[in-house]
Amino acid sequence: MDFFQSIDWMQLLRCFVVGGLICIIGQILIDKTKLTSARILVIFVTTGVILGALGIYQYVIDFAGCGATVPLLGFGANLAKGAITEAQNSGLLGAFIGGVKASAGGIAAAVFFGYLASLIAKPKIKKQ
Amino acid sequence: MKSIDTKKEYLDYVDQKSPNSPILKNCFNAFWVGGLICSIGQIIFDFCQYKGLDTTSSSTIVSIILIGIAAFLTGLNIFNKIGKFAGAGSLVPITGFANSIVSPAIEYKSEGYVMGVGGKMFTVAGPVLVFGISASVIVGIIATFFV
Amino acid sequence: MTKIGLQTIKLDSAPYILETSSIVGPKEAEGPLAKYFDQCLEDEFWGEKTWEKAESKIIKENVSALVAKSGIASTDIDYCFAGDLLNQCISSSFGLRETNIPFFGIFGACSTFAEGMCLGSTFVDSHAASNVICATSSHFCSAEKQFRFPLELGNQRPQSAQWTVTGSGAVILSNNNLGKPCPRITYVTPGKIVDMGVKDANNMGAAMAPAALDTLITHLKDTGRKPSYYDVIITGDLGYVGKEILTELAETKGYNIKNNYDDCGVLIFDKEKQDTHSGGSGCGCIATVFSGYFYQMLKEKKINKLLLIATGALMNSTSSQQGESIPGIAHAVAIENLDN
């Protein structure tokens, strides 16, 4: 119960609104440009890397928390942040290691769960 | 209506004839589902912080759990229904990335575990990793020399 | 057999459409035409392990059912013309590999059914064959997998997108009606490839409508007929978008088809209840709707003169990726009850 009392509801609201707004940008891209979902994901992750590298995205993260880190923009920003930090610590080698290292958890989880799901699940038709 | 003879005239005519997506409804659904997914992430994040984990680890745990849930729902044939309803609301959060990896893995199982599951897993999400990682390496190189 | 006009072949013996057979998937079975199909499946796998195997089984079982229904021994079938949407037409060739009937694998995308009927009827008319089978199949899941995305991907289908029909339709064309009154093929008009530059693979109706228009007008000019000569003009899978485009384009060229034109992609599903957006598509669309619904209407003489125009989009996923536009094609077959 202590945990529920510790939740910052204003923080949660900011997270909800910012996360939702980022998704609206994606929805407008889907409906207005006929881009496939793969291209939209690429646009988001690349934009995230650029905004992260320029340090702009950190302000959004500070404001909205997971509302900024959970969308793919945050995945991109995290890649950039990792690359920069590691590059500053260990030079050129770090530039190669940093990005993937920072996002390794997510990538490994997606690959592992993907493999796991394929063992169990069977393809099914969409009903609508 | 006047006669349509050139390709340009025809394409303009087709644009005008093709039905538009219900964009307001789609945006509304994308907004609340996307917001909700981020909020679930936030609660997991807060819980990790409450348990005394640092920010980086908490963020990674949020990603792993959301990816796990998305993979599970994809396997149960539920994620595509959420995706149809919410559009970008479930695509843009990390859940969309997970779904893009898990869905071809399941679909291509019929072509074997090595070349089917293993090989086709990245048909949709591969570009995300290629562009994301390449961009981060470029950023890292720039940071090495100029910052 | 005589060529008349620009593209049309007049079939002097007017081959009979002796029998038809159709099998459809569960979604089609929930649609408005369900009661006209010979067999409705309960699930898309039909006991098989993969979508491709399921599609092969559908065409195989459909052709067996057709031969059984017709009363002709399978050894009396001279040739079979069949095709589908999968790479290298594997559903047809795998499905029909045990039939022991000489086989022509044909590809005209969703126009394959009419392409087969054009070829089959000229074979029969020229005495090269007495009985031929024309069959096609398509399967929603195998087509999605090959042309679009995995089924589990949570994406939204655009409003202009169409739903590939799961099913197979097959006909026997013959020089002998076995004493039964049967509809006959009087003219066939093989179509030209027409490309008006549409690139959107989610708007096939718009890509194929100009080809349908070209074939329709050529057929009418070649035969000297008016659109009103036919009780019904049907197209294969233009869907709601393509149907409207074809109707309007025909009007600008001076042909009014508003009253007697319909599209199989529009007929096979209930747009509102089944959420299929612009309607059905695929080789199986016109094949099942003709073999099921229209053949029965012809037999019952509710329709006596029918012009069947099957439309196809001649593209694949590589050409789309490379930014090519979508060439369309349409073949027309005039089917009439002659012995009244």
Alpha carbons C331 and C310: distance in angstroms, whole number: 6
Q: Which of B107, B109, B111 to mutate to test the interface with C (most CBs of C within 10 A)?
A: B107
Digit-coded pLDDT (tens) for C89-133: 999 999 999 999 999 999 999 999 999 999 999 999 999 999 999
Q: Which of B18, B29, B42 to mutate to test the interface with A (most CBs of A within 10 A)?
A: B42
Residues of chain C contacting A128 with CB distance shorter than 8 Å: 274-275
Digit-coded pLDDT (tens) for B29-39: 999 999 999 99
Whether residue A3 is predicted with pLDDT greater than 90 in this model: the reply is no
Residues of chain A contacting C48 with CB distance shorter than 8 Å: none
Could you say which of B4, B17, B107 has the minimum Cβ distance to residue C252? B4
Spatial CA neighbour of B104 closest among C318, A111, A100? A111
Whether residue A126 is predicted with pLDDT greater than 80 in this model: the reply is no
Digit-coded pLDDT (tens) for A68-119: 999 999 999 999 999 999 999 988 999 999 999 999 999 999 999 999 999 9
Whether residue B120 is predicted with pLDDT greater than 50 in this model: the reply is yes
| Closest chain B residue to A80, measured at CA | B136
Alpha carbons A10 and A6: distance in angstroms, whole number: 12
Same domain, C141 and C7: yes
Enumerate residues 11 to 30 of chain A having a beta carbon within 8 A of any beta carbon in chain B: 11-12, 15-30
Q: Count how many domains chain C has.
A: 2
Spatial CA neighbour of C155 closest among A21, A34, B111, A100? A34
Q: What is the pLDDT of residue C340?
A: 56
Same domain, C44 and C168: yes
Domain ranges, residue C159: 2-174
**Is C43 within 8 Å of chain B by CB?**
no
Chain B: list its partners (3+ Cβ pairs within 8 Å).
A, C
CA A37 to chain centroid, in Å, comes to 15
**Is B96 within 8 Å of chain A by CB?**
yes
Tally Cβ neighbours within 10 Å of residue C200.
Answer: 19
Distance between first and last Cα of chain C:
23
pLDDT grade for A128, boundaries at 50, 70 and 90: very low
Is residue B108 within 8 Å of residue B122, measured between CB atoms? no
Same domain, C142 and C250: no
Is C179 domain-assigned?
no
Same domain, C72 and C132: yes
DSSP H helix total and E strand total for chain C: 12, 15
pLDDT grade for B19, boundaries at 50, 70 and 90: confident
Alpha carbons A57 and A47: distance in angstroms, whole number: 10
Read off the pLDDT of each residue in C36-49 and give the average, rounded to a whole number: 93
Contact A34 C141 (CB under 8 A): no
Contact A125 C140 (CB under 8 A): yes
Alpha carbons C12 and C187: distance in angstroms, whole number: 9
Alpha carbons C49 and C52: distance in angstroms, whole number: 9
| Closest chain C residue to A114, measured at CA | C152
Is residue A85 within 8 Å of residue A38, measured between CB atoms? no
Q: What is the pLDDT of residue C336?
A: 96
Q: Which of B1, B9, B18 to mutate to test the interface with C (most CBs of C within 10 A)?
A: B18
**Is A8 within 8 Å of chain B by CB?**
yes
Residues of chain B contacting C248 with CB distance shorter than 8 Å: 1
Residues of B at the C interface, defined by Cβ within 8 angstroms: 1-4, 7, 10-11, 13-14, 17-21, 26, 74-75, 77, 79-84, 86-87, 90-91, 96, 99-100, 102-104, 106-108, 110, 124
Digit-coded pLDDT (tens) for A38-47: 899 999 999 9
Contact B74 A123 (CB under 8 A): no
Q: Give ∠ CA C125-C128-C134 in degrees, rounded to 5.
A: 70
Q: Supply the mean pLDDT for chain C.
A: 94
Lowest-confidence segment of B100-104, C147-151, C189-193 by average pLDDT: C147-151
| Closest chain C residue to B96, measured at CA | C154
From residue C28, alpha-carbon distances to C229, C285, C295 in Å are: 31, 10, 17
Mapping DSSP to helix (H, G, I), strand (E, B) and coil, where does residue C186 land? strand
Same domain, C207 and C71: no
Residue C269 backbone phi and psi in degrees, to 5: -115, 160
DSSP H helix total and E strand total for chain B: 8, 0
Spatial CA neighbour of A8 closest among B107, B92, B49, C230? B49
Distance from CA of C49 to the nearest CA of A (A): 10
Q: What is the pLDDT of residue A1?
A: 63
Residue with tokens 């991907």: C153
Of the candidates C118, C146, C174, which is a domain's last residue?
C174
Q: Which of A27, A31, A39, A126 to mutate to test the interface with C (most CBs of C within 10 A)?
A: A126
Which CATH number is C254's domain given? Answer: 3.40.47.40
**Is A77 within 8 Å of chain B by CB?**
no
Q: Which of B139, B141, B142, B145 to mutate to test the interface with A (most CBs of A within 10 A)?
A: B139
**Is C50 within 8 Å of chain B by CB?**
yes
Percent of chain C's residues with pLDDT above 90? 89
Residues of chain C contacting B107 with CB distance shorter than 8 Å: 145, 150-152
Alpha carbons A45 and C303: distance in angstroms, whole number: 58
Q: Which helix (H) or strand (E) holds C4?
A: strand C2-4
Percent of chain A's residues with pLDDT above 70? 96
Whether residue A127 is predicted with pLDDT greater than 60 in this model: the reply is no
Whether residue C230 is predicted with pLDDT greater than 70 in this model: the reply is yes
Same domain, C158 and C13: yes
Whether residue B116 is predicted with pLDDT greater than 50 in this model: the reply is yes
Cβ contacts of C339 within 8 Å, gap of 6 or more: C181
Could you say which of A34, A37, A121 has the minimum Cβ distance to residue C155? A37
Distance from CA of C313 to the nearest CA of B (A): 16
Read off the pLDDT of each residue in C50-78 and give the average, rounded to a whole number: 95
Same domain, C273 and C294: yes
Q: Supply the mean pLDDT for chain B.
A: 93
Could you say which of C51, C152, C196 has the minimum Cβ distance to residue B80? C152
Digit-coded pLDDT (tens) for C236-274: 999 999 999 999 999 999 999 999 999 999 999 998 899
Alpha-helix runs per DSSP H in A34-56: 37-53
Same domain, C188 and C165: no
Q: What is the pLDDT of residue A5?
A: 81
Distance from CA of C119 to the nearest CA of B (A): 31
Could you say which of C151, C158, C200 has the minimum Cβ distance to residue A124? C151
Whether residue A125 is predicted with pLDDT greater than 80 in this model: the reply is no
